[in-house]
Each structure stands twice: as C-alpha cells, then as structure tokens.
Amino acid sequence: QKEVEQDPGPLSVPEGAIVSLNCTYSNSAFQYFMWYRQYSRKGPELLMYTYSSGNKEDGRFTAQVDKSSKYISLFIRDSQPSDSATYLCAMSAREWETSGSRLTFGEGTQLTVNP
C-alpha cells in the first residue's frame, strides 16, 4: 500500500466550477502538508503549505487537513482555464537534520477547466 493515495483523474470541469482535489495517507507521523501545481512539461510550484490540521485559504484556493481521518483536500473556487494543470499533494514528518527534507508525493491529479 502506498503511503499517499491520490486519484490521478483526469478531472474535467466547466469554468467557474468548484474543484475538490483529495489525498489520503497512512503515515500518522505526517504533519506538514503541501499542494503543488505542475503545468505540462514544467517543474511543480508550491501552491499551499499547511502544518497539522485545519484550513488555510489563499485567494481562490483553500487547503484542508483532517489528521484524524488522514485526509487532505484542496478546493479551487471559481475555477479558470488557467487552473488546468496537474496537482500533486505532498507531505512529510520531521526528520533528523543530516538526512535532509523528505517529502512523500501523491501521483498527481490532472485537472482541465473548460471555458
């Protein structure tokens, strides 16, 4: 079983729709949760970063973390064609300094927003 599960999609929605992207995980030690956005043939860019449980909002984007259910979500309101990309969740637990940062990524969900 993978540590992080993410539905690869593809997900296709009309412009203006509310998009919900989700990941589940099995490692209860994870406490840092991120969402990355990756346009085709580009490197991923950090979109949202949260620590532990709760919600975080940034413009049209809201990240939710439910540690009790081991479930994280990214909501996109008023979706735009420019939101069309692959969205990857990532998470980590603290590790010893000499071992460096470690992130466990989901496989990514491909989203298309149709005008």
Partner 1 sequence: SQTIHQWPATLVQPVGSPLSLECTVEGTSNPNLYWYRQAAGRGLQLLFYSVGIGQISSEVPQNLSASRPQDRQFILSSKKLLLSDSGFYLCAWSPSATNEKLFFGSGTQLSVL
Q: Which stretch binds partner 1 (CB under 8 A): 21-29, 34-42, 56-64, 69-77?
A: 34-42
Taking CB atoms within 8 Å and a gap of at least 24, the contacts of 37-43 are 37/85, 37/86, 37/87, 37/88, 38/85, 38/86, 38/87, 38/88, 38/108, 39/85, 39/86, 40/85, 40/86
* Closer residue to partner 1 in complex, CB, 34/74: 34
Tell me the closest approach of the beta carbon of residue 11 to partner 1, in angstroms: 15
Using CB under 8 A as the binding rule, whether residue 115 contacts partner 1 is answered as: no
Smaller CB distance to partner 1: residue 1 or 98? 98
User: Which of 19, 34, 65, 85 touches partner 1 by CB under 8 A?
Assistant: 34
- Which helix H or strand E contains 87, and what residues bound it? strand 85-92
Nearest CA to 102 among 93, 110, 111? Answer: 93
Q: Where do contacts with partner 1 occur on this chain (CB under 8 A)?
A: 8, 32, 34, 36, 41-46, 49, 88, 90, 92, 94, 97-103, 105-108
